[in-house]
Copies of this chain bind each other. A is one copy, B any other.
Amino acid sequence: MAQHNFTPTHYHTAIGTHESVLSLADGDTVSTTTVDAGGHDASGEQVTEGGNPQTGPFYIQGAEPGDSISITFDHLMPNRDNGYTSSKVAANVLDPGHRTGFDNDRVVWGIDFDAHTATPIELRSRDATPNVRSISPDSPLGKLTLPLNPHPGCFGVAPPRGQAISTSTSSTHGGNMDYKRFNQGVTVHFPVFVEGALFHVGDGHALQGDGEIVGTGIEISFNITFTAHLHKGKTIRWPRAENDTHILTVGNARPLDQCVQHATSEMIRWLTTDFGLDEQTAHVLLGEAVEYDMGNMFDPAYTMVCKVSKDILKQLGVM
């Protein structure tokens, strides 16, 4: 259970069977950094092409197709004092033909590490030479101060069939799920499709609303520490996760309906197989106690999350 420090020198904008940068034993911990969605590092310098560039991949020793691995996010924190968002809700999230009367300026947010918040400070146009306007702290936009909730928007393992899948999208291998509760303390499980699993991580968000509906969280570079575990012979179909309060399953697809179908079916498999509930009890439990969250409704594949409270599982005597 070694502790590794890893400084990335290159990044990937597709998640695939790339050469690994570090080999991890079961239980090893890694402290590393990620650049922001546009490829900018802690100093704000662009060090790689944009598009959710990933740090890694990390090779998990012993991982083979049919196994699963888990990643626990021990520490997640922006490593610079500003990030950015888009300012316009994506057309696919609004009524077809809904009209907006402003430009999709970039919003620069200042990070207050003491208060653990972020606030819009500047609007930058998308022109080649951006028109920059500072945001008055007395304007409604300038008063919008939101609590930090650092989470990586995109992470996952190499997909099957020799595929390399763009970090703009997601599937059974994880990818660009943009789910705000994949934050510090969560443990996320992935199916293993290739030898070593090959874990990638990037696209840090200082915080994000449900659905990532402007197409960004607050995009920012991260310091990140994670611990990897191998679950030998434990086969799963979709990402699963666990935090302090819930167990969670993830579906990545379009439309949102299909995400829900994947996540709910995976939850039933989990409840019946690992928690030993009979099938009918699992269904009744979900019917009256399931919760759903939206990851993103922006990427080529959307993300929905199915959740069950740990308190209920404890009440039933299966956790």
Contacts and interface: CB of A to CB of B under 8 A. Distances in A.
A54 to B, nearest CB: 12
Contacts of A112: none
Tell me the interface secondary structure of chain A in the complex.
loop
Contacts of A254: 253-255, 257-258
Contact of A284 (B16, B87, B281): B87
A210 B161 contact: no
A95 B164 contact: no
Contacts of A284: 85, 87, 107, 120, 141, 144, 214
Q: Interface range on chain A: under 10, 10 to 19, 20 to 34, or 35 or more?
A: 35 or more
Interface in A1-28: 12-14, 16
Given A94-B264, A290-B209, A285 B144 contact: yes
A109 to B, nearest CB: 8
B95 A265 contact: yes
Nearest to A257: B255
Contacts of A283: 87-89, 100, 102, 214
A270 interface: no
Contacts of A91: 96-97
A92 to B, nearest CB: 4
A288 B209 contact: yes
A196 B296 CA distance: 35
30 contacts: A13-B161, A13-B162, A14-B161, A14-B162, A16-B164, A87-B280, A87-B283, A90-B96, A92-B96, A93-B261, A93-B264, A95-B265, A98-B265, A102-B279, A140-B278, A140-B316, A140-B318, A141-B278, A144-B289, A144-B312, A146-B312, A164-B164, A209-B286, A211-B260, A213-B286, A214-B283, A214-B288, A253-B254, A255-B256, A257-B257
Interface of A: 12-14, 16, 51, 85-98, 100-102, 105, 107, 120, 139-141, 143-146, 160-166, 168, 207-214, 216-218, 253-258, 260-262, 264-265, 268, 277-281, 283-292, 294, 297, 300, 302, 312, 315-318
Given A92-B257, A209-B286, 8 more contacts: A14-B162, A87-B280, A94-B264, A141-B278, A144-B312, A212-B287, A213-B264, A255-B255
